[in-house]
Structure 1
Amino acid sequence: MRVLIAPDKFAGTLTSLEAAEAIATGWAEHAPDDELDLCPMADGGPGFVDVLHAALGGELLAVTVRGPFDSPTPATILGVGDTFYVESAQACGRDLVGGRDAERANTYGVGELLARAVDAGARTVVVGLGGSGTNDGGAGLLAALGAVGDEPLDQGVAGLIGLSTLDLSGAADRVDGVRLVVASDVDTVLTGLFGATKTFGPQKGISEERLVAVDAILTEYAAVAGRRMALEKGAGAAGGLGFALMLLGATRTPGIELVADAVGLAERARRADLVITGEGAFDFSSRSGKVPHGVATIAGEALRPCVALAGQVMIGAREMRALGIESAYSVVDLVGAGPAFAEPGPSLAQLARRVARSWSPQ
């Protein structure tokens, strides 16, 4: 039996490569003769650069940029010819924000990553968005590229209170002649009931009672910067980084589609008998550009069954099948929450071994 293993990261515990290796280890323990094809995936969030480097080769450029609270933060840029790939989470990811004031977290370092790619000779820069801990509408990125306003742009969303003028000419000149592409895992708009703050603010540490006020700040910022662009799909990605990049002329592509093309996922699915995907928390939000839905869609087009292994499964069979998943299996349900987080690799391997009993003919 040929099994394609194409998981996303298990956020906070395993990279996509580690997850793929754990699944393969457990599967092989039960079915050692099965042919396993490991294909780690990403959707624009953490792991984006590593997955693309493994698939495309190219040169990794090590840089140091400002983190979300201005401390020096290491990051890498991938160059493949004159196309460069940047992972925004390396400069403003949730792990870098921790429990600190999310309203003060900024995206200046992402702008520095973009500038370094341009300086290295990029003609196209693809910016992966996802897993951010910031909610500043991309104002920090714009500041790093040369934009100026009458309020500080590099102090998080809190610094934007009272902003009434914004000059983007310096930032536009900095990326002049460079094609910008947003690789986004969500299609959220910038503001409103379904905007960045209301949808993702709580998981970044913005309190429930502050959501309306923070959204109002971004609404005023959008009125100054470009209200129409704020309504574009993906403008709210990564706390509004999508919006800032679109102001500079970026086009948007689903991150999962870009990665799937790079790793040849469709062809590999056609060669498989079964496709396995997964992520940390498998719920109905997985439909919005996330890896499991993207992998399942490609598996379906290849007429191959797709199952998901996840840290937690929070949807029922009907919703699961709406996402193209035949069955989903939970690490927490098998071993409990404690072991699932304390030993994520062995726990996922144990689940894969159990799933192999059901799906492998061995």
Structure 2
Amino acid sequence: MRVLICPDKFAGTLSAAEVAAAVADGWRETAPADEVVLRPLSDGGPGFTEVIGGALDGRRVTVATVDPLGRPVHGEVLLVGATAYVESAQACGLHLLTRQERDPGAATSYGLGLLLTAAVEAGAVEVVIGLGGSAVNDAGAGMLAALGAGPVDVGGYALPYGGAVLGAADRLEGPPRLRQVRLVAATDVDNPLIGLHGASNVYGPQKGATREDVLRLDAALEHFAGVLERAFEVDGLAAMPGTGAAGGVGAALLALGARMVSGIDLVTRIIGLEEQLDRADLVITGEGSFDHQSLRGKVAAGVANAARDRGLPCVVVAGRNETGYREAANAGVTETFALLEHFGSEERALAEPARGLREIGARLAGQWSR
């Protein structure tokens, strides 16, 4: 039997490669004669450059950058020919903060701007930015500041970092220093910048925003969208699909002329997933939380859809499962296994995810292997 294992990361615990390896180890313990193929995935969030770097022969450039609170961290730019791949989560990621530190009103995307600057200085002609898993809600204002185009108030003074102050923005400091590189934003989030389905309302609470914070942030982003529209001569920016990605960084990138692409489609093309799907007998995918957002273009749903189109069974492994059987089946999911149910304890699921995935992998092999 040929088994294709292609999960996303389990945020906060295991990378996509570690998830795939753990499930594969369990399967091989039970069915060592089966052919097990590993293709870790990313939709643009954490692990984006790691997954692409594992498939392409590129050069990794270490970059000194900052986290969402301005503290020093290290990121990297993956250079493949004239194309650079950058992962926003390396500088803006929610995983870089403790739960107590989460504050979308103050968090900044400045570090992403430093990564973009490094890609430009390395000679890239095209920069592909993976968006996802962010702690910020500043519509890319910090990123623009690092590029020399930060927001200023009516007096010409630079605004503090974060999304909460963007209501005071009057204009941008100057043109962004990008040397005419082509920008590509890779994400599978189709949320607009503002409104009920916008960045603040949908993603603000998981980043630490209260209901009052959400209302203030949404109003601030609406105002800043107008600043971006005037600066870059674009119309209707706040309502465009994808502008809410990564706390509104998508809006700034689209204003800069970026082309938006599906992160999962980009990654699957690069790693040759379609060919592997054509040869598989069973597909195993997964992510940390399999929920209603997963069904809106996330990795697990994308893989399940592709498996369904080929008539392949698809099993989802997750940290927790919050979908109903019918909606999962409609997406192409045959079965779902969750660490929370496996262990019966959230504490153990978080403490021993690799062990749990090995045990689930062994159980799946006992059910499915010929």
**TM score, norm. by length of structure 2:** 0.94
Q: Quick check: which one's helix share is greater?
A: 1
Q: Find 2:191's aligned residue among 181, 188, 192.
A: 188
SS class of match (1:203): helix
Contact 1:20 1:39 in 2 (8 A): yes
5+ residue gaps, structure 1, are none
SS class of match (2:85): strand
Count of matched residue pairs = 358
Per-residue deviation, residues 44-88 of structure 1 (Å, max 9, x unmatched):
000000000001120000010122121111001100000000000
Please report how far the alpha carbon of residue 154 of structure 1 lies from its aligned counterpart in structure 2 after TM superposition. Answer: 5.2
Counterparts of 1:273 and 1:197 in 2: how far apart (Å)?
Answer: 41
Residue of structure 1 in register with 2:350 after alignment: 341
Contact 2:110 2:145 in 1 (8 A): yes
Contact 2:142 2:150 in 1 (8 A): no
Residues 84 and 5 (structure 1 numbering): CA distance in 2 closer, same or farther, change over 3 Å?
Answer: same
Q: Find 1:351's aligned residue among 360, 367, 370.
A: 360
What pairs up with 1:150-165 in 2 under 5 angstroms?
Answer: 150-151=152-153, 152-153=158-159, 155-165=161-171
Contact 1:44 1:185 in 2 (8 A): yes
Per-residue deviation, residues 247-303 of structure 1 (Å, max 9, x unmatched):
110010010000000010010011110011001111121122210011112223333
**TM score, norm. by length of structure 1:** 0.96
Residue of structure 1 in register with 2:245 after alignment: 237
Counterparts of 1:255 and 1:309 in 2: how far apart (Å)?
Answer: 21
Residue of structure 2 in register with 1:221 after alignment: 224
Per-residue deviation, residues 281-339 of structure 1 (Å, max 9, x unmatched):
11121122210011112223333221111111111211101211111111111112222
The alignment status of 1:298 with 2:309, answered yes or no, reads no
What pairs up with 1:192-211 in 2 under 5 angstroms?
Answer: 192-211=195-214
Amino acid at match of 1:328: T
Please report how far the alpha carbon of residue 153 of structure 1 lies from its aligned counterpart in structure 2 after TM superposition. Answer: 4.7
- More displaced stretch, 66-75 vs 37-46: 66-75
The alignment status of 1:135 with 2:137, answered yes or no, reads yes
Contact 2:164 2:216 in 1 (8 A): no
Per-residue deviation, residues 170-210 of structure 1 (Å, max 9, x unmatched):
21xx2242110000131110001110000000000111232
Counterparts of 1:306 and 1:153 in 2: how far apart (Å)?
Answer: 49
The alignment status of 1:316 with 2:324, answered yes or no, reads yes
Residue of structure 1 in register with 2:279 after alignment: 271
Residue of structure 1 in register with 2:106 after alignment: 104
What pairs up with 1:52-131 in 2 under 5 angstroms?
Answer: 52-98=52-98, 99-100=100-101, 101-131=103-133
Residue of structure 1 in register with 2:175 after alignment: 170
Root-mean-square deviation (Å): 1.3
Quick one: percent identity of the two aligned structures?
A: 48
Amino acid at match of 2:292: F
Residue of structure 2 in register with 1:145 after alignment: 147
Counterparts of 2:319 and 2:255 in 1: how far apart (Å)?
Answer: 37
